[in-house]
Structure 1
Amino acid sequence: MPAPVVDILVVAVAALDLSLNLMGDHTPLGVSLAAVGCAALAFRRRFPLAVFLLTLPAGLTQDVPIAVLVALFTLAERSRDRRLLAVCVALSALASSTPWLPVAPVDRTMTLVFFVYGLATAAAPVLFGQLLQAQRDLARRLAEIEEAREHERTLHAQAVLARERAQLAREMHDVVSHQVSLIAVRAGALQVATKDADAKEAARTIRSLSVTTLDELRTMVTLLRASGGHATEPTPQPTLADLHKLVESSGTHARLSGALPSTVGTPAQRALYRTVQEALTNVRKHAPGATVRVELWQDGDDVGVTVTNSPPTRPSLSLPGSQHGLVGLRERADILHGTLEAGPAADGGYRVRLRIPLSTD
């Protein structure tokens, strides 16, 4: 039921209670004050304390006025000040035990009895309101606990997924990639050694498919080793067309020159891209302020890239270097029957040079 409808019904019930239970001795002023208190119940949600104070005159004209009880319940439902609630209970009991127009000597004993009864009557809606407030707090706390548990379950599931992905990546890298590499090497050896044209073509096909498969396996291993906390979508692998963006965003003074024919296959393009990427990374780490030349070139049936950097112009930080990047590049070059050369240049800089047979793909 909408809150305004409930408020209207409460005001109507309080007014009906006032009209039916007025004491015999009353004045127009007392009735008016009690009526104001009943009407004020419409605003009990916004001003609970003020509405309660306005309903107190109704306690002087009635034994157990509904308006006071409703105002006490609303105040207790919204307030967390126990001392304030205790004072309001005492005021309600005092109002109900004090006659509006005493016409005879006041019996102190009966007044005390009425005061005690008033305390018990006023305490009931306060306790009920506090109980409702505690129930809402408990429900809110239970919802927070359930949300935290759901978050923990999600984190646990992500951790399990990450472990499974890492284990699968290790198996693929240590077993499958090794076997495919052996297939590529044996197929390449057979292609060189055999004299039969059909066998040579079959060996070339096997080697080419093995190289492509190995490259895809390495891509899958990289994806599997990615964070297990978020879904990792396969992204397009880089090609020569992405070199310009790589050089521009490298954070170094790099310049790209040269071009390669469109017949360069996908595995060779990836090898060239990764070589430039690793070389630029090493420049940022170990040669700050150096200028870099990235040259794409073709030499007969071979294509390649040369990345040369000048000596650093600023002292570099002592960063750990495992050489795994260059080792991976050499492995990729070996699979493609190419060569990778890396070492100091004559001017004190550093040079990385990758050469790949164009006929590899």
Structure 2
Amino acid sequence: MMRWASLVVPTALAVADALLVNGVTPGLELNVSLVAAAALLLRRRLPLTAFLATLPGILIGYIWFAPMIALYTVAARRPDRRLLAVSALLLAAAHFVPWPVSDFEPTAYRENTLNLIDASVTSVAPIGLGLLVRTRGELAARIEDLTRSRRHADELLAHKVLSTERARLAREMHDVVAHQVSLISLQAGAVQISAQDAEARECARTIRELSVRTLDELRHMVGVLRAAGGDLEELTPQPCLADLPRLIELSALDVDYEADYGDGVFEDLGQSEAVERAVFRIVQEALTNVRKHAPGARVRVRVGEEGDRTGARELRVEVRNGAPDATAAAPGLPGGGHGLIGLRERAQLLGGTLEARPLPDNGFVVHARLPCIRPAPQEA
């Protein structure tokens, strides 16, 4: 409806202009004026042709609406500078030169000057309006493209956040669930060995098998979740340094625990939460690995505050175990290989380091250094 209205309304105005200027008596002036008005119906498909068809109307019939509307369409649809310059000159000439041409009086300076100014305004105004409308349309299209791009960027960001959350869940799943399930398997194995009742031993064996199967499925799930995204920042932590004695007590291992740090070891609360949680996860993962790979081994856990070469304070964590006890039954728990990798990444995010290596006596040590202050951002 709007498309037809934009064609019919300008044509109707041009027809009205032709009738008002030239009257209703048939003649050359009225005929060329009506042809100019009818040419506006083609201005969208053939803007230049329609404009040229309106020039006799302004030259002979002295109409304004049809040629100005046609020139506006040329500027809006074909903004070539040379084409617009030629079109403006043609319209100005058709407006300035009288019909018949023999009536032109070169010595009428005042009248010719006024006609030239009028012709210039008549030719320049439609071009300016057409370019303005075209520029506005281009800006609107550009804004729409930017909006679409921003919406797409927001969707990508949402997917990235989702992937990051999956990676965090994988980290938490491995740290928490694997630790607890391995404890269940270990306790079930102890019940299976020490229980006198055959039914109780069978139940303990079933629990242990289910625990091992759960850890195996958890390993595959962790791999899928970790592949879905990176780890940008840690979630708000829950465990802290004060929870380490309870963790060691529940581990059912022979552990010597040493703590050597003061209450003011951290310089800001945010760094305290992140580092304390990282320390808890390091000790938790190390004890889980001892149960998996070194059953019956003695373990030494040390958490202490020390200074580095520059004098800055840092928290050092060391979990060292000896050789496994040959008489102790291995629990046979599956491992996905993600624990120490994740802990090393977590330590690096906090500005620290983590090393894990075997010892000459068939033992193993996990050593981490974590700064007690938040690391300053590095300049690019």
Which range, TM-score by smaller chain?
A: 0.5 to 0.7
| TM-score, scaled to structure 2 | 0.55
Q: Does the Cα contact within 8 Å between 2:164 and 2:228 map onto a contact in 1?
A: no
- Structure 1: how far apart are the matches of 2:190 and 2:221? 27
Q: Tell me: CA distance 1:72–1:105, structure 2 relative to 1, closer, same or farther (3 Å).
A: closer
Q: One-letter code of the match for 1:73?
A: Y
In structure 2, distance between residues paired with 1:27 and 1:39 = 16
Aligned twin of 1:86? 85
Check conservation: 2:167, 2:228, Cα contact below 8 A: no
> 2:148 — aligned with what?
147
- CA–CA separation in structure 2 for the residues paired with 1:207 and 1:166: 28
Shift of 1:221: 1.6
Q: Which amino acid aligns with 1:334?
A: G
Residue in structure 1 matched with residue 17 of structure 2 by the alignment: 17
Partner amino acid, structure 2, of 1:140: A
Secondary structure in 2 aligned to 1:221? Answer: helix
What are the superposed Cα offsets for residues 43-101 of structure 1, whole Å, 9 maximum, x if unpaired? 11000001000000111134452100110111111112122112211211110111112
Identical positions, percent: 43
**Pairing 1:42–2:41 present:** yes
Q: Which amino acid aligns with 2:18?
A: L
Q: Is the 8 A contact 2:22 2:29 kept in 1?
A: no
What is residue 173 of structure 1 aligned with on the other side? 174
CA contact (8 A) 1:62 1:96 kept: no
Q: Which amino acid aligns with 1:113?
A: L
Answer yes or no: is the 8 Å Cα contact 1:64–1:96 preserved in 2: no
User: How does 1:1-361 map onto structure 2 within 5 Å?
Assistant: 1-22=1-22, 28-102=27-101, 104=103, 106-107=105-106, 108-109=108-109, 110-228=111-229, 334-335=332-333
Per the alignment, residue 369 of structure 2 pairs with none
Structure 2: give runs of 5+ residues left out of the alignment: 231-330, 335-380
Query: Cα 1:37–1:19, aligned 2, differ >3 Å: closer, same or farther?
Result: same
Against the structure 1 CA distance between its residues 154 and 228, is the aligned structure 2 distance closer, same or farther, given a 3 Å change threshold? farther
SS at match of 2:22: coil
Q: 8 Å contact 2:33–2:63 — kept in the other structure?
A: no
Q: Deviations over 1:299-350 (max 9, x none)?
A: xxxxxxxxxxxxxxxxxxxxxxxxxxxxxxxxxx9348xxxxxxxxxxxxxx
Task: Give structure 1 regions of 4+ aligned residues with deviation exceeding 6 angstroms.
Answer: none
Q: Do 1:11 and 1:42's aligned partners in 2 also have CA atoms closer than 8 Å?
A: yes
Q: What TM-score do the two structures reach when normalised by structure 1?
A: 0.58
Instruction: Give the deviation of 1:140 after TM superposition.
Output: 0.8
Deviation at 1:106, TM superposition (A): 1.3
CA distance in 2, matches of 1:94, 1:37: 17
Q: Contact between 2:97 and 2:104, CA under 8 Å: does it hold in 1? A: no
**Deviation digits for residues 137-187 of structure 1 (CA, Å, limit 9, x no counterpart):** 111111111222222222233333322321221222233213312322431
Q: Does the 8 A contact of 2:212 with 2:333 survive in 1?
A: yes
Aligned pair count? 233
- C-alpha separation in 2, matches of 1:105 and 1:120: 20
Q: In structure 1, what is the Cα distance between the partners aligned to 2:124 and 2:197?
A: 105
User: How many Å separate the matches in 1 of 2:159 and 2:3?
Assistant: 44
Could you say what the CA RMSD is over the residues aligned between the two structures, in angstroms?
Answer: 2.9
Shift of 1:191: 1.6
Query: Using a 3 Å threshold, how does the CA distance of structure 1 residues 186 and 89 change in structure 2: closer, same or farther?
Result: same
Amino acid at match of 1:15: V
Q: What SS class does the counterpart of residue 113 from structure 1 fall into?
A: helix
Q: Structure 1's 105 and 73: CA in aligned 2 closer, same or farther, altered over 3 A?
A: closer
Task: Encode CA deviations 1:286-305: one digit per residue, 9 max, x unaligned.
Answer: xxxxxxxxxxxxxxxxxxxx
